[in-house]
Amino acid sequence: MCGILAVFGCIENSQSKRARIIELSRRLRHRGPDWSGLHCYQDCYLAHQRLAIVDPTSGDQPLYNEDKTIVVTVNGEIYNHEELRRNLTSHQFRTGSDCEVIAHLYEEYGENFVDMLDGMFSFVLLDTRDKSFIAARDAIGITPLYMGWGLDGSIWFASEMKALSDDCERFTVLLPGHIYSSKSGELKRWYNPPWYSERIPSTPYNPLVLREAFEKAVVKRLMTDVPFGVLLSGGLDSSLVAAVASRHLAETKAAMQWGSQLHTFCIGLKGSPDLKAAREVADYLGTVHHEFYFTVQEGIDAIEEVIYHIETYDVTTVRASTPMFLMSRKIKSLGVKMVLSGEGSDEIFGGYLYFHKAPNKEELHLETCRKIKALHLYDCLRANKATSAWGVEARVPFLDKDFLNTAMDIDPDWKMVRPDLGRIEKWVMRNAFDDDQNPYLPKHILYRQKEQFSDGVGYSWIDGLKEHANEHVTDAMLMHASFVYPENTPTTKEAYYYRSIFERFFPKNAARSTVPGGPSVACSSAKALEWDVAWSKNPDPSGRAAVGVHAAAYEEAPGSLPGANGAVSVDFSQKLEEGVIVAAVTAV
């Protein structure tokens, strides 16, 4: 990931202002430690902190068109840049950077080119010919982008709000799939797939079509000129990413540079069952596997730094970001700069355990739509900022635009949990990769039941956080929380503790308003509470509220799960026993 900062319409245009822009851009250097760039044009500034993944030698930013009248600063990856280049025959490219196509596409098509981009991105573009500018964000919000306004009438954009929170009177999240144009002064949505309207699809499930779409999504993300790997927790989603990447790695340019053996990474507290599962998958796939360990105290010690980097006080996001943050530092120490991760699958396929309670396919589909639209506030934010804190880029194949279109066009009846038909959560993905002739994964991994992420990192980890918060937040503090924090009032000591840290770093009202209120959407929602009143009785936003679902949602003998080809033995007691230590990098 890179860090971008852009400011337009500054009243002051002096050396001191330039120095201030450089100082603020430096706050994003963790995102891009490889090089810094700044373009000034009258009262406009575009700054960039680069993480060099594609074309490390000549792809420094900002980037330009031929006569440098178009200037662009980009955070992200454009996977179809070579195809786009071939169609821009009248343009001359200065670099091999995948992001340079943005300047030329704008010159060729104006503001209506964004939907042509296949990738994850946030960018700001200045047209010096009329001093107009645009800012856009990718379809789902994999990469972050904030928009702010100064008292002098200036407009600001930044990858993280720490670069604009001091100088802007107000700032907000620029919505995913949207573009801001200075010409109209409006923010409009450019991403308009059929599923976005939340209509109920009716396309029959075709496992081969789904499998091919996912394989293409993984393969295109192997575009890199630097060492990379896969975050592997041993659960379904990360294991599928690793299996496909390992199978196709030899076909890519990356294999010529770094070898055809995939590297995988996992972190956990010693004794973690997920560490064991990840090692089993890695051995099966033949990857070079790296295991990292941390203690509860090390995680607690990192909490303040984690909150500073992820810029949220959402409880489940803080819990899950900490091991990912710690592991990213270890990964960077090995010289690896890019990783593939499994975020997005649970939102697309209804993989969270409360989806077992979905009353019908219509309700299930509408909930998946809502969760995908909110990913930028939760899992995408976590995966991006926890890795970018150490100059590592996370790519998420499940959120590929084409794959999303395929997966969200399936009749949601196929996504319903149906024990009578042998279908557990995410059965459509499990079945698509259940190939007896050329197996991708062992069946007991392929049909391993979902573990809620915050619980997947271990009940001992969560209990340690709660105990630490109890030591720092008194009963009186929590009792008066509504007076101290009237907006998004914390309801637990753990939430109060995270909020107090966040407020020290980001004290403005605008900052706290970027964090959604209510129960974490990563685990439950108002709709889920309608499906099962039991959810409303548990204030903890973790998978513990789904224990009844986890082990008893199936009308099967204890310890077994219905798979596509019969029951697969699974020992749930090990997973659900209070005190079990589990820590994995990616959601299962």
Distances (CA, A) of 369 to 140, 188, 404, 405, 415: 11, 19, 11, 12, 13
AA identity, residue 214: F
In degrees rounded to 5, what are phi and psi of residue 291?
-105, 130
DSSP state of 361: H
Structural contact between residues 358 and 367, judged by C-beta atoms closer than 8 angstroms: yes
Structural contact between residues 232 and 266, judged by C-beta atoms closer than 8 angstroms: yes
Give which of 68, 69, 98 is closest to 85, Cα–Cα.
98
Structural contact between residues 350 and 364, judged by C-beta atoms closer than 8 angstroms: yes
Strand partners, 484: none
In degrees rounded to 5, what are phi and psi of residue 48?
-150, 135
Distance CA 200, CA 221 (A): 30
Number of Cβ atoms within 10 Å of the Cβ of 77: 27
- The two most distant CA atoms of the chain are separated, in Å, by 74
Joined tokens for residue 147: 């928009």
Helix (H) / strand (E) element for 187: namely strand 186-189
Sign of CA dihedral 472, 500, 374, 220: negative
Give which of 100, 98, 105 is closest to 62, Cα–Cα.
100
Sorted by sequence, the CB contacts under 8 Å of residue 109 that are 6+ apart come out as 116
DSSP state of 560: E
* Rg of the chain over all Cα atoms, to the nearest angstrom: 23
Structural contact between residues 355 and 417, judged by C-beta atoms closer than 8 angstroms: yes
Catalytic site residue 2?
yes
Joined tokens for residue 36: 């810094």
Structural contact between residues 158 and 107, judged by C-beta atoms closer than 8 angstroms: no
Sign of CA dihedral 392, 397, 398, 402: positive
DSSP of 418-442: BGGGTB-TTHHHHHHT--SSS-SS-
Sorted by sequence, the CB contacts under 8 Å of residue 156 that are 6+ apart come out as 5, 6, 7, 8, 147, 148, 149, 150, 164, 167, 168, 171
Joined tokens for residue 82: 């070579």
Distance CA 507, CA 311 (A): 12
Q: Which long-range contacts (CB under 8 A, 24 or more apart) does 81-86 make?
A: 81/119, 84/116, 84/117
AA identity, residue 44: C
Instruction: Compute the C-alpha angle 425/429/435, nearest 5°.
Output: 125
Catalytic residues: 2
